[in-house]
Amino acid sequence: MAQTVRIGCGTGFWGDSPEGAAQLVRSDSIDYMILDYLAEITMSILARLKARSPDQGYATDFISHVMTPLAQDIATKGIRIITNAGGLNPLACRSALQTVLKAAGLDLKIAVVLGDDLAENAMTLREDGVTEIATGAPLPERVSSINAYLGAFPIAAALREGADIVITGRVVDSALALGPLIHEFGWTEADYDKLAGGSLAGHVIECGPQATGGIFTDWDAVRGWDEMGSPIAVCAPDGSFELTKPSDTGGLITPMTVAEQIVYEIGDPAAYLLPDVICDFSQVTVTQTAIDRVHVAGARGTAPTPFYKVCATYADGYRSVATMTIAGRQAGAKAQAVGEAILTRTGRMIATAGFAPFSESLIEVLGADASFGMDPVQQGAREVVLRIAVRHDHKDALGIFAREIYPAASSMAQGITGFAGGRPAPQPVIRLFSCLVEKTKVNTAIDIDDHAIPIPVPTGQKETSRAVKTQRTPSIGTDADAPDSNGAISIPLIALAHGRSGDKGDIANIGLLARDPDFLPILRANLTPQHVKAIFSHVAKGAVERYEWPGLNGFNFVLRDALGGGGVASLRNDPQGKGYAQILLDTPVRVPASLLNEFPALTEWSIPKTQQEGLE
């Protein structure tokens, strides 16, 4: 058994810089490199590419930007590669890689993990009555892709068979790191705490430099954005790990930069569902052990459910988005008026042409606090970007919309400029359908040298119900929790907390971490689910849940039906909730005036009395 295993993450998404992978290979500090390319949006893009050409449908950057320039060094240094670049066509990805390796004179063994693609099972899934997890809707008649989120044991099996490179289709992101750890440490399917710890290592590093200071709340404390260090997890047999990065690279690794990544895109921290284990991250601890080195421990696990999460994508019409800049006094009011006029005008014109109304439309005035739910007419901005988005079942209707954007420059408000990119072309709207499928109905295998080896996977708990009960009841909070306003002052939440937000389909989450444990009671009292729901009432149409996160001194807020459909199905400027933490952190909170005596640094954040009166 290895004493430690060093796993670096070279890419966090399709389109990420190839510099991360090159940096890790040059560093001589890793045993494995994982390359993560897939997201729900990416799967819909790959589905369109595969439909156009049978040899497409995988992340081509893996071949052109990583393996072509780095294959020789990877082979020389004995670095093993694990990637989900296979997307919807992992065998075609392998074929392209074999061509690159042959040209370089390299003989590396490639394994492909198969079984996630369930597109041919669509009829059977409908007959089985699978329904959408959130809405209960049936599987659409026509789908572009259907993929199960596989786990880490097939990856471990491929490594056991001697694979130097493992290419997968859809797997959970953390499995890319967990697979090597299962192989190296000999973990079994019942080593739940260790599997949870390995999954946490994968979760922390799979977004690349997000764990090494990228998108950190205190952004001005991070140096070297131009050469950010890629994350390396130095993993121990007990499931703990230390996060670090290559020397002489930019970034920052502290307990808080790591904690921000831990809370990213999580629901209930005590019940994070993965195919190999249900993880409890609620008591995880992060401890600084050296400069740019943080120890992470305390993950716990229980048996997984007997289901795979399965995501299908399907087409739902088209969308079009137009933007223009508007300058001058009352820019926000002018922009709102222009947007409304364009929608009224084009709505009338598509009706005359025999089309139904737009199925959805949206006006956003960027620069006038639109993301914060503010009325652009009341804001004093002197330069804004007007963003108009529409959706329709027919491309031709959106062609009328596109044609009628430019005329606003001569017929509406003065100061219109900055038409970016010409007439907006219609884009397909791809929606996500998530369901549960029994693991026993998914056949997983690895393919090495065109020889398929079936891989049995743990089937998990023995429940027969499709609605397995795993999550805690979120804390509710009431108005009675609100702090006493006597002798209190207002300061922005960012003075007391860090935050990080992300998405899962149409669900947003905001992880909130107290800068000091003494601030927890204040945060708990101020940020009830009802109050957070009110802050995001302009975007969050569903319930808001709050989960306690005691190990990290924080909370996780889950906002349902909060992203306008999410991904490419959403018309919003922020369809993934990336700015939601910043919105929440700017919220005024009431704190006892005496707190300033204990924490003098908070004084600079205090809101003047005249402004406080407007917040009452």
Q: Can you say how many angstroms the Cα of residue 437 is from the centroid of all Cα atoms in its chain?
A: 23
Q: Are residues 502 and 366 in the same domain?
A: no
The H or E element spanning position 343 is helix 331-352
Instruction: Give percent above pLDDT 70 in the chain.
Output: 94
Per-residue pLDDT band for 608 (boundaries 50, 70, 90) equals low
Q: Is 578 found in the same domain as 491?
A: yes
Q: Does residue 300 share a domain with residue 196?
A: yes
Cβ atoms 335, 375 nearer than 8 A: no
Residue 270 CA to its chain's centroid (Å):
19
Whole-angstrom Cα distance, residue 298 to residue 296? 7
Q: Is 126 part of a structural domain of the chain?
A: no
| Residue 361 and residue 245 share a domain | no
pTM listed for this prediction: 0.93
Q: Provide the phi-psi class of 292: left if phi over 0, else alpha when psi is between -120 and 50, else beta.
A: left
3-state secondary structure of 386: strand
160 and 258 co-located in one domain? yes
Within-domain flag for 272: yes
Residues 171 and 31 in one domain: yes
Q: How is residue 150 annotated by DSSP?
A: B
**SS3 helix, strand, coil % of the chain, rounded to 5?**
35, 25, 40
Domain-located, residue 162: yes
* Closest CA relative to residue 234, chosen from 495, 31, 462: 31
Give tens-digit pLDDT for 266-289: 999 999 999 999 999 999 999 999
Q: Are the beta carbons of 288 and 282 closer than 8 angstroms?
A: no
Q: Are residues 596 and 538 in the same domain?
A: yes
130 lies in some domain = no
Question: 337-374, pLDDT tens digit by residue?
Answer: 999 999 999 999 999 999 999 999 999 999 999 999 99
216 plus 69 within the same structural domain = yes
Q: Rounded to whole angstroms, how far apart are CA atoms 398 and 156? A: 49
In a domain, 82, yes or no: yes
Structural domains counted in the chain: 3
| 546 and 486 within one domain | yes
- Encoding tokens for residue 359? 């199925």
Q: What gap in Å lies between CA 183 and CA 153, rounded to an integer?
A: 9
Least confident of 221-230, 510-519, 591-600: 591-600
d(CA 485, CA 292): 41
Average pLDDT, stretch 140-151?
Answer: 94
Q: Is residue 459 part of a domain?
A: no
User: Which residues 6+ apart lie within 8 Å of 608 measured at CB?
Assistant: none
Indicate the pairing of strand 32-35 with strand 80-83.
parallel
> What is the per-residue pLDDT across 495-547, written as a single tens digit (0 to 9) for each?
999 999 999 889 999 999 999 999 999 999 999 999 999 999 999 999 999 99
The reply to whether 374 falls in a domain is yes
Which DSSP category does 111 fall into?
E
- Give the separation between CA 476 and CA 561, rounded to whole angstroms: 18
pLDDT tier at 464, thresholds 50, 70, 90: very low
Amino acid at 158: A
Q: Are residues 257 and 305 in the same domain?
A: yes
Task: Assess whether 69 and 188 both reside in one domain.
Answer: yes
Domain extent, residue 446, equals 5-117+148-310+435-454
Residue 401 pLDDT level (bands cut at 50, 70, 90): very high
485 and 549 fall within a common domain: yes
603 located within any domain: yes
